[in-house]
Amino acid sequence: MKFEHKMRGNVSFGVNPIGCKQDVLNQIDYVKEQGHYEGPKKVLIIGASSSYGLASRINLAFGAGADTIGVSFEKGPKSERNLGSAGWYNNIYFKQAAEKEGLIAKNFVQDAFSHQTKQDVIDYIKAEFGGKIDLVVYSLASGIRINPETGERINSVIKSIGQNVVGPNVNIEKQEFYEQVLEPATEEEIADTVNVMGGEDWLFWMQALKEADVLADGVQTTNYSYLGSDLNKPYYGDGTLGRAKADCDEKAVHINDLLTDINGKATVIVATAVTTKASSVIPFFPVYCMGLYRVMADNGTHETPIMHIDRTFRDMVYGDKAEYDELGRLRPDSWELDPEVQAQTEALIKEINEGNFNSDKTGYSIFMKEFMNLSGFDVDGYVEEAVTIDDLKALEF
Beta bridge partners of 72: 109
> d(Cα 187, Cα 168) in Å, to the nearest integer?
26
Kindly tell me the sign of the dihedral angle through the C-alpha atoms of 238, 240, 243, 244.
negative
Residues 392, 393, 396, 397: what is their CA dihedral angle, to the nearest 10 degrees? 90
Residues in the chain: 397
The catalytic residue among 236, 293, 318, 364 is 236
The question of whether 236 is a catalytic residue gets the answer: yes
> Helix, strand or coil for residue 266?
strand
> d(Cα 204, Cα 197) in Å, to the nearest integer?
13
- Give the type of residue at 72: S
The residue ranges of DSSP E strands in the chain, in sequence order, are 6-8, 11-13, 42-46, 67-72, 105-109, 133-138, 144-146, 153-155, 165-171, 176-182, 215-225, 265-270
Residue 146 phi, psi dihedral angles, 5° rounding: -95, 115
Active-site residues, by number, are 236
